Amino acid sequence: KQEVTQIPAALSVPEGENLVLNCSFTDSAIYNLQWFRQDPGKGLTSLLLIQSSQREQTSGRLNASLDKSSGRSTLYIAASQPGDSATYLCAVTLIYNQGGKLIFGQGTELSVKP
């Protein structure tokens, strides 16, 4: 059974710091991996999608990497800002599942202090 784990569960940093959020998964037979952001009381916003054949994706100050063989992904946030405060979730889709059945980690709650 695929399990997705995110470390740390919570993180508090001062504004301007670069930071790394970690995601690990137990079954390397993934179709893709996604990072989402969730603000309190809101739905999820997709940040980055990495296909299983890719190593990384970048969007602005965000960079996500994927090492399928070791079952790990990292989300790097450069020059963090208070507006980055949110819960970050990673999710995988397995290749032998129908699309859309994402398996989520428990999330990392990020707080960026001004």
Partner 1 sequence: GAGVSQSPSNKVTEKGKDVELRCDPISGHTALYWYRQSLGQGLEFLIYFQGNSAPDKSGLPSDRFSAERTGGSVSTLTIQRTQQEDSAVYLCASSQSFRNTGELFFGEGSRLTVL
Q: How far is the CB of 60 from partner 1 (least distance, A)?
A: 17
The residue written with tokens 């859309």 in the block is 100
Q: How far is the CB of 93 from partner 1 (least distance, A)?
A: 5
User: How far is it, in rounded angstroms, from Cα 17 to Cα 79?
Assistant: 5
Contact residue for partner 1 among 102, 108, 110, 112 (CB under 8 A): 102
Q: Note whether 97 binds partner 1 by CB under 8 A.
A: yes
Q: Note whether 91 binds partner 1 by CB under 8 A.
A: yes
31: tokens are 């179709």
User: Which of 49, 62 has the CB closer to partner 1?
Assistant: 49
Q: Tell me how crowded residue 25 is: count the other CB atoms within 10 A of its CB.
A: 24
88: tokens are 């970050």
Q: Note whether 55 binds partner 1 by CB under 8 A.
A: no
**Binding residues for partner 1, per CB under 8 A?**
31-32, 34, 36, 41-46, 49, 89, 91, 93, 97-107
